[in-house]
Amino acid sequence: MANKTSQHILNTSATLLGFCLFVFTAVQVSDKRERTYIDEFTAIISIFLATSSILSFLSIRTENTRLEKKLETIADYLFIIALLGIVIVILFIALNFIK
């Protein structure tokens, strides 16, 4: 059983997806969306997190050990890219709303 991190990726990426959707909605409601790229970056990060969630779920459910490991690895890489993207979005938010 290769699923050492799939359960954690599934749980955390689903939670962070909710956070991204909250940020996306908040930017859309405010008047800042014309002057920033926060909503575009957040939408891309949301796609990475959703894909990571789906792949980690499939990794948990599959019986094929090679496929399980491959799906888990791809989900792990997408998750770390999304985390780095969230850090960038937080920096954008801090810089744009502090001004």
- Which helix (H) or strand (E) is 37 found in, with range? none
Tens-binned pLDDT, residue by residue, of the chain (99 aa): 455 777 788 888 888 888 888 887 877 777 665 566 788 888 899 999 999 999 999 998 989 999 999 999 999 999 999 999 999 988 888 887 776
The predicted structure's pLDDT at residue 42: 87
Instruction: Please report, for the chain, the start and end positions of each structural domain, with discontinuous segments joined by +.
Output: 6-98
CB atoms within 10 A of CB 23: 21
Which pTM value belongs to this model? Answer: 0.81
First to last CA, the chain: 50
Closest Cα to residue 15, out of 52, 60, 43, 68? 52
Give the dihedral sign, CA 43/97/16/12: positive
